[in-house]
Chain A
Amino acid sequence: MPRPRIDRLSAVLALPLLAAPALSAFGLRPNRIAQPQALGWAEAFGAPTAAALAAGTLLLVVALLLLRRPGLRMLLLAAALAGLILMLGRGAAILLEQAAPAARVSPGLGFWLAAGVLVLLLVDAFARMQPGPAPRAALLAATLAAVAALLGSGVLADLSVAAEFRLRAAAFHKATADHLVLAFGSFLAALAVGLPAGLAIQRHRALRAPVLNLLTLIQTIPSIALFGMLIVPLAWIAAHVPAAAEAGIRGIGMAPALVALFLYSLLPIVANTVAGVDAVPPAVAEAAAGMGMTGAQRLRMVELPLALPVILAAARIVLVQNIGLATVGALIGSGGYGTFIFQGIGQTATDLILLGVLPTVALAFLTSAVLDLVIASFRMQPP
């Protein structure tokens, strides 16, 4: 009888997955800044249900070890993940019924471990199907729809982060708008400046080293220092140029954060524009000139289209970087999700920190995934 072949990644991850039901599923706190008390599944659902969950986990592990077809694995893992999240929401509701009014319930270590392993295996199963852009787009859309349904359904409404959100819905929407303006506004400005600059230094080799060195130098300045350094000149401009002050430019707030993110965005855009145009094969460039294309036609018809995937890769780097860095802008009053993070740190309120961190991570992930898709769909076409 042939020995069944065991799935290796599942074997490695079997132990943490099996251990997860035994670890704390929930953290219960009497109020939003108190220390959490670790509770297991049994405390919310009773011992029989907890035992059934552990048995179900064992079955899942065995199935994962033996099942090799990626499609089946994905279905199984998605079902397990959905079940886990539903149980988290239900458990939080049960625990809150028995607790004091100000009490909060957050996910515990066991939940995070199980969810992390399931997501990892899910991504692995999907990657094994070697999906093209279309299935990837479909999965992204399905994930977004699932997350939206989950948040809209109220299943997770009893979790502490959701409670924190309800307290600050208006501030959250304002922060979202500010964060998008910071990350995407600075990117668009950097694109408007960096693309022509990159094309210019690609043609004039003598300018290359100085420009790229300067931008690299800017990149090495720590973000907090750069935000701070910009306060002085921008405050001076606001004081001496009335029009600038009317446009909202001040030493603190949105303006210095936008400028700092803009400066950080320049290096990837300029460097990749140069690299992308440099990578146009010499014979192709020579043919374009020899066919009688004008400089503008060469740029539009040949150089930019061929450099586009490399420039899009820069856009991805810059946007993900900006979405993360924009949180630091909150220190100088720029708004955005960072506001919650720094307030939360000040109050030692984990839920408030998470209210800033989770949407930042989600936004960065979404942006990266969408741009990956765009780049992949360009790569599908030659070259």
Chain B
Amino acid sequence: MIEIEALTKTYGGRPVVDGVTARFARGTLTAIVGSSGSGKTTLLRMINRLVEPSAGRVLIDGKDVARIPEVSLRQGIGYVIQGYGLFPHWTAARNIGVVPTLLGWPRSRIKARTQELLHMLQLDPAEIGPRYPHQLSGGQAQRIGVARALAARPEVLLMDEPFGALDPLIRRQAQRDLTRIRRQLGTTVVLVTHDMNEALYLGDAIAVMRDGRFEQFGPPEDIVRAPATPFVADLVGETGRALRLLALKPVGTLLRAGQAQGDPVDAAASLSDALAEMIWTGRDRLPVVDGRGQGLGIVTRDDILAAGRQAPPA
């Protein structure tokens, strides 16, 4: 768990991060969204002390990071940046092994860990491992950057616009990979992005940042359904809010008992995908199956439409 307490950074008297307090739960991904200059990167860099706070503090699992020596703190936190910053004079394998090397792991263990990570990221160790960064595609370089950050099994992973340099198709794949790896490892992730769609897709929690403060901090559904300020509403977009909401929830949340005709939909698919399927095939209910194709029940059009409706005023 990461706790941020009244965290402030001023440059020349001007606050860039202005008294932010928040708590990022263990094993979750928190996406910090904001435009450039909002202070989101500075906030991130105060967690691994690449920037020292002017006031306030950061606790990781209850320990004040200011009391942990810089070097060992950073070796224990994964860090992925835009452009990846791979060491151009080292092979992909050596790049991945950098933190274990700094930690003094034996060579055989570093090699085994490197191979394991390359497999996990669906890269062939024999083919990709010996390549230099300039011989890698953008998507491969991005995955090497993630593998390098995960090499020493950090509990916390910080990511600064990790997908910013990828084209849309590869970006979606990389985002899926991140979700998969995160579920597998249970790592706590803090991710900085300027892209609200990315934040909604990846985040368990979303912090919208502006002028050094959190305008709103909460689960994606709250951000879409009840934007706290006009700025947040603007970022989410007035139109299509219902569809965004439906995109956040899986079909499994609206299961009913019953029978339906035609091709089934996976319980993990989003409600928006199920709705699109209904419109396309002219049905008002779909059979729902689990990952192994086992029938679970049905999902109905009316339920989906209700789930996308504005919350009734309290």
Contact = CB atoms under 8 A, between A and B. Distances in A.
Interface of A: 281, 283-294, 297, 301-302, 305-306, 381-383
A381 B83 CA distance: 21
13 contacts: A281-B88, A283-B84, A286-B81, A287-B86, A291-B74, A291-B75, A292-B71, A292-B76, A293-B71, A297-B102, A382-B89, A382-B134, A383-B134
B74 A289 contact: yes
Nearest to B103: A292
B87 interface: yes
A301 B88 CA distance: 11
In this complex, the interface size class of chain B, counting residues with CB under 8 Å from chain A, is 20 to 34
B132 interface: yes
Contact of A283 (B50, B82, B102): B82
Interface of chain A, main secondary structure: helix
B133 interface: yes
Contacts of B79: 287, 290-291
B48 interface: yes
A257 B98 CA distance: 46
Interface in B131-163: 132-135, 148
Interface string B232-276: 000000000000000000000000000000000000000000000
A383 B89 contact: yes
Contacts of A305: 89
B74 A287 contact: no
Contacts of A306: 88-89
Contacts of A291: 74-75, 79, 98-99, 102, 148
Contact of A290 (B50, B89, B133): B50
B81 to A, nearest CB: 6
Contacts of A302: 87
A382 B50 contact: no
A287 B72 contact: no
Contacts of B185: none
A383 B87 CA distance: 10
B228 interface: no
A306 B81 CA distance: 20
A292 B73 contact: yes
Contacts of B85: 281, 283-288, 290
Contact of B48 (A285, A290, A383): A290
A289 B73 CA distance: 11
A290 B87 contact: no
